[in-house]
Amino acid sequence: MAVSRSFVTVAERPVEVLLIDSRQLVRAGMGRLLADAARLEVCASLADFDAAIRWARTHAPQLVVVSLPGDGVEVLDGVRKMRRQFAEIRLLIVTDESDLIVQERLLQAGVAGMLEAACSVAELYMAIDTVVRGDRYISDALAQKLAERRVPGRECTPFDDLTHRELQILLMVAGGHSAAAMARELCLTRKTVNSYRNRLLEKLQAATDVELMHLAMRHGLVSVPL
């Protein structure tokens, strides 16, 4: 089936795309898919946001396509860092099944588009076309789920009022990170990390890290390891 690929360009130049995905095989497949589209040029294909940010400092991609599986901490932090340093770059997130709270936070952080990994090729091209034109794209299925969260009378989750840092710490605790590991990764002291952790325990009425982990799993904020 023919797919429309009417990507916006400046002076007929290709749209330069930076692809981020931690999985080498997926990067290769996504890169080939994007390269096959008219007027899209995949300039780099990298495994994480840190490498992408270093690369972007000496290049000027118009679009960053992010397809990272199931790591809300890395995606949230990476998006915030990239938005702070490169406000002009458009970010399109291809998301696996994840909690709507994480997806809402990504939109609040300023991503230009978001669609589910199960989307069709046609929808991927349509999303790229939309965000390159300067508009925001949210897939219909995801938009409906997000809208349902705002219906009056819906049951709130215990995570709705967490700050970004609190949510970040919660995701890392649920992922099994120690206080020392969190301190290193977030460039915080262990005392500060433990302060956030204790605040989480109080806010979420949990007694231990294990209870925090079970709470996050029960509400779908993190997936249960197979």
> Residues 79-99: what's their mean pLDDT?
88
Nearest to 115 by CA among 91, 150, 79, 133: 91
Q: What is the pLDDT of residues 24-78, one digit of tens each?
A: 998 999 999 988 887 899 999 999 999 999 999 999 899 999 987 765 778 888 9
Q: Could you tell me the domains of the chain?
A: 15-148 (3.40.50.2300), 164-218 (1.10.10.10)
Token look-up 């794209």 returns: 137
| pLDDT-derived band at 152, boundaries 50, 70, 90 | low
> Residues 209-213: what's their mean pLDDT?
90
Please report the pLDDT score of residue 176 as a whole number: 86
> Residues 1-20: what's their mean pLDDT?
64
Report the distance separating Cα 98 and Cα 63, nearest Å.
23
20 contacts 75 by C-beta, under 8 angstroms = no
Instruction: Report the half-sphere exposure of 120 (CA within 13 A, side-chain side).
Output: 9
Q: What is the pLDDT of residues 171-182, one digit of tens each?
A: 889 888 899 999
